[in-house]
Structure 1
């Protein structure tokens, strides 16, 4: 479960990590009041569960309460990265001498937490070369002892009071990571302001399977409307923002479909694992979900084991008869009852492919032509 920035900063503050003064609000008048309380220049930051807010115009500065009111009104009218902005964080503008990056997450390969830090933080952290990134695994019985903090700060080139601040902050961040069952705690940027380190942003993700232990953290729904519908149907579905709707049976087949489409220059609209044993009814519901993404083409990739190819074919025809499918459908059918499934598809004026690469290339060709 992802937390909003203001929620992450509330957690940081409760663990003794310095954050800017500020408060979450939902109306322009509330924003003006907070700006009045803080005084000076404030930052109005959209609160959505997505990144790149600054580049999308979702972060604005205001020099007085009236400007804060106007900036908040503008931000609350925005849709950023597909997310409607419904709340903002109004906080003091801090002096920035240097931006660092600091995170703790789980390294699945090593089966250990890992500290990731860089002297180059900020909006383009993804483009920082590996030689400027420090990675240090955490031995669970040992945790984050002082010597490990000093080693990381040395590798970052942090000295004096700033180095001491870093050495104090890192164990607090790890304590939060462990006690809150986090999958990720990230500060980007971690700002050097004079001799002080300030968490100017927060990204915190809590392990869904541990939420029963975290009763003090409000539940945050981060699924889109279509993802909620899919969840209620028992389907694994993630919106991706492309124009080729994808359905496959099995997580591996679904990932392979996305990779193959991307290889040919396509942009998948979603991840949809219809499951290994989805019958005709479940397939009908899955196709209905795909149509809600408004794609240019639908790509169905079925390798039938438990799933029967004729059930998938009949489901597709059932949807076509019940409603118009406004876009082309490219389908690959291989496996159980393959011959019958292909016959049904062809009798209804469609083509069924046997090779996934050929089908994916065709889907990309159609999407790019529209």
Structure 2
């Protein structure tokens, strides 16, 4: 989860990283109550790069110009995103611009400090111009000074940059982040440093440990749900919103993507897809796999488009017997919601779309045999649940069920 710049600057200021005087702008009329001196820079607050190139960053010197610029930026779509907030910030004259970052390197499972004396680096030349230091043991100021020295800095400037790196690392650890980036770090003629732009990426698996971040995440997800149902992505493949008939539950990104593709290839229409392996970004409290399964089943059942829930669990899951019991409970709670016969104008009878979707379940892995046994018993007594051995058959069954007469809309 990436934060917007104004949120990043708030975090920077609280932890002691130097930032310019700034003010959040929610409406162009807020400019009239501006508390910072002109000239100012207005910045569009969207999760998109290259704002300046497309007009999302403007320098203004008067209130009239600022209001006009704010109105323009609020209505400027950048990569399909309209800003809900602008950032008004004091103008800063930078003599030099550096790049600094603290990033989690998943290859070595350690934090890495990155730095360059050039802010805009061609990706092809990054290896030549970017310096790095791996934090191999408990962090100390030594690591920050070592990177500053590798960047070729000396004296007061070396100390200033080292101090900023220490604060960045402190924020990185405190908030369970994947990335803290300052690009650029401005340096004026007096040698003073200033974080002119920043980026923070929160580790989604750690959001539950930080209530204030969970609240921010919930707002972001709600905003994306309202604004972008047409593109359907609420958090990559951990939660995908579509309007198809087959809801998908899985226990891994790979299994979700594979199931999704097979449904499409088989002529079906995927609906909501949920990855049960991890908690969602809106879960502020710890959850178990069974909790997420129960919540996922209810979420899909509540969606009016979902006719079939396709569950594809691969490998191992915690407490497989309890997982099966969660499915049993869901089926039993929804038994009474069977399809009803209705008579059309021409006298023929059709079934209404079932209120409760049918379940098609595929469990792969010897550790899931206990769950299979429980569900096999239920399957013999209830036609709302179908247990299938392989994924191709499960997908074919789900697609066939959505095309069955019982699911066709009344004309």
TM-score relative to the length of structure 1: 0.63
**Structure 1, unaligned runs of 5 or more:** 229-236, 365-370
Give runs of aligned pairs for residues 211-360 of structure 1, distance below 5 A. Answer: 211=210, 220-223=215-218, 224-225=221-222, 238-240=238-240, 247-248=248-249, 253-261=251-259, 270-273=273-276, 276-277=289-290, 282=295, 284-288=297-301, 291=303, 299-302=310-313, 305-308=321-324, 321=339, 324=353, 331-334=360-363, 335-339=372-376, 353-356=388-391
Q: Secondary structure at the match of 1:186?
A: strand
Distance 2:127 2:312 in 1: 37
1:200 is matched with 196
Q: For residue 23 of structure 1, report the CA deviation from its aligned partner.
A: 1.2
Q: How many residues align?
A: 340
Asked if 1 retains the 8 angstrom alpha-carbon contact of 2:249 and 2:273, the reply is no
Q: Secondary structure at the match of 2:323?
A: coil
- Are 1:169 and 2:164 matched, yes or no? yes
**Cα–Cα, structure 1 residues 362 and 131, in superposed 2: closer, same or farther, change >3 Å?**
farther
Counterpart of 1:138?
135
Cα distance between partner residues in 1 of 2:122 and 2:257: 25
Partner of 2:28: 28
Q: 2:280 matched to which residue of 1?
A: none
- Structural RMSD (CA): 5.4
Between the aligned partners of 1:354 and 1:192, the Cα distance in structure 2 is 60
Displacement after TM superposition at 1:313 (Å): 6.5
Determine if the alignment matches structure 1 residue 152 to structure 2 residue 153: no
2-structure distance, mates of 1:121, 1:314: 60
Q: Which moved more, 1:86-95 or 1:74-83?
A: 74-83
Structure 2 counterpart SS, 1:73: helix
C-alpha separation in 2, matches of 1:337 and 1:155: 62
* TM-aligned CA deviation for residue 152 of structure 1: 1.6
Structure 1 pair 84–192 and aligned structure 2 pair: CA distance change class (3 A): closer
- Equivalent residue, structure 2, for 1:232: none
User: Aligned to 1:39, what secondary structure does the other structure show?
Assistant: coil
Matched residue, 2:113: 115
3-state DSSP of counterpart to 1:91:
strand
CA distance in 2, matches of 1:90, 1:333: 53
Residue of structure 1 equivalent to 2:44: 45
- Give the whole-Å Cα distance in 1 for the aligned partners of 2:199 and 2:26: 20
Structure number with the bigger relative contact order (C-alpha 8 A, sep ≥ 6) is: 1
Deviations 1:307-342 (A, max 9, x none): 33666667788778498489x999443323454666
Q: Following the alignment from structure 1 to structure 2, what is the Cα–Cα distance between the partners of residues 97 and 80?
A: 29
Larger-gyration structure (1/2): 2
Partner SS for 1:301: strand
Aligned-partner Cα distance in 2 for 1:363–1:55: 48
Q: Is the Cα–Cα contact under 8 Å of residues 44 and 89 in structure 1 kept in the other structure? A: yes
Superposition TM-score, scaled by structure 2 size: 0.58
Is 2:185–2:197's contact at 8 Å kept on the other side of the alignment? no
Q: Deviations over 1:153-188 (max 9, x none)?
A: 34445567755542342223334445x444356234
- 1:8 corresponds to which residue? 8
For the structure 1 residues 287 and 240, does the alpha-carbon distance in structure 2 shift closer, same or farther, using more than 3 Å as the test?
closer
Shift of 1:301: 1.9
Instruction: Note the alpha carbon deviations across 1:85-134, whole angstroms, 9 max, x for none.
Output: 44321113445676544232555776654323456656997x88556554
How far apart are residue 66 of structure 1 and its match? 2.6
On the 8 A contact 2:51/2:78 being kept in 1, the answer is no
SS in 2 for 1:115: strand
Aligned residue for 2:141, secondary structure, equals coil
Q: Contact 1:276/1:306 (CA < 8 Å) preserved in 2?
A: no
Answer yes or no: is the 8 Å Cα contact 2:148–2:161 preserved in 1: yes
* Matched residue, 2:56: 59
